[in-house]
Structure 1
Amino acid sequence: MKAKTASIKIDDFKIKGPSDRMAQLLIAGLLTQALPPVANVQPIAPSAIPAVGEYWPGQGGINGGFVSARGDVPAHYLIFAEKDVGNHEWGNRGKDSGATSKTDGHANSLILLADGDHPAANAADDYAADGHSDFFLPAAAELYQGWLNCPEVFAQDCWYWSSSQRSAYGAFVMLFGDGLQGNYGKSNELRVRPVRRFFI
């Protein structure tokens, strides 16, 4: 049995095909005309991700690289502030803190800010750029990722505080000149580089 055919003619243009397919084309054409224009707009392509170590326009700093989801923290990019915010004490020497995560500087910083008297965490929290004010003091592993991905954007001759406490008297630090990690007494004034997360 021969399939039924149909044709659609618009001005001098004519198309012929199976009747069910022609009906689909006709309905699709009518819907396209009937829907509001915004429904016909193609989605905007995502902006290009800058190379690791380069400034990310609109994100407040330097692309520190991709971080896979871990625990309850979704996948994200680390965005390091473009500059340091001075030398500060870690604070509260002799007092134990719950800021012990090696990977979650945001959680550590919330604890330090709630505890009070943590100048390094306060300095990172006070930083803002490109309309973003969600910076924090990076955890030890976040600083290490900075050394792995873009050590050249940090000072090479000084220690940086992490938000990761080692003991009641010290916290973990990073030296970007050669990738050393260690710990210093909390009353020392060391360099601070804020960081934020850009969730994807």
Structure 2
Amino acid sequence: MTQHAQQSVAAADLPERGQPFAGGTFVTRYWLNGEERALVLLDDELTGRWGEYGQDVAGAKSYSDGTANTRAMAEAGSELAAKVLELGAHIPSHLEGALLMSAKADGVATLREDRWHWLSTQCSADLAFGMHFGDGWLFSLVKSFERLVRPVRSLPIQ
């Protein structure tokens, strides 16, 4: 497993939004589980299935914690989640997807507009959230279909 070396960042070392940082593009600052974090969008683009239709992944229901969701997905057998974790990254959560859409609208991030992207937040045993960055639609999609993923990193800000 390849892990990205940087584990945290000093607030003074953060670049402007939209600038290269930590192996991708710095998107924004946000709060997760009581901790301020930096969201970084990687350039990598993967395609795959979220998981198995009808399989409930109990640990992948967080609307905010994409890392926890992605780990739960991988533990449940998601090849896509395992590949993203190998990059030292995770699949964006529902919240992180909305932050990416905001960054795209602000002109600080580039995301494909022609396909649906998986988010790591599960809706049910059959469905998980996906986002269409062309118009910002957020929808529940059948987990066994292939969709895109743009991995992200979330680094604690010191």
Q: Which runs of 4+ in 1 moved over 2 A?
A: none
Q: 2:84 — aligned with what? A: 124
- The Cα shift of 1:110 comes to 1.6
The TM-score normalised by the length of structure 1 is: 0.67
CA distance in 2, matches of 1:179, 1:188: 20
Partner residue of 1:91 out of 31, 51, 71 = 51
Q: 2:23 — aligned with what? A: 60
Higher Cα radius of gyration: 1
Superposition map of 1:1-200 within 5 A: 46-47=12-13, 49-56=14-21, 59-68=22-31, 70-71=32-33, 73-85=34-46, 87-98=47-58, 99-116=60-77, 118-127=78-87, 133=88, 135-150=89-104, 152-200=109-157
Structure 1 regions of 5+ residues with no counterpart?
1-44, 128-132
Indicate if the aligned counterparts of 1:160 and 1:193 stay in contact, CA closer than 8 A: yes
AA in 1 matched with 2:148: R
AA in 1 matched with 2:52: N
- The Cα shift of 1:51 comes to 2.4
Q: Aligned-pair RMSD on alpha carbons?
A: 1.7
Structure 2 regions of 5+ residues with no counterpart?
1-10
AA in 2 matched with 1:100: K
- The Cα shift of 1:199 comes to 1.1
**Residues 49-83 of structure 1, C-alpha deviation per residue, up to 9 Å, x if partnerless?**
32222221xx1111110012x43x51111111123
The TM-score normalised by the length of structure 2 is: 0.83
Structure ranking higher on relative contact order (CA contacts 8 Å, 6+ apart): 2
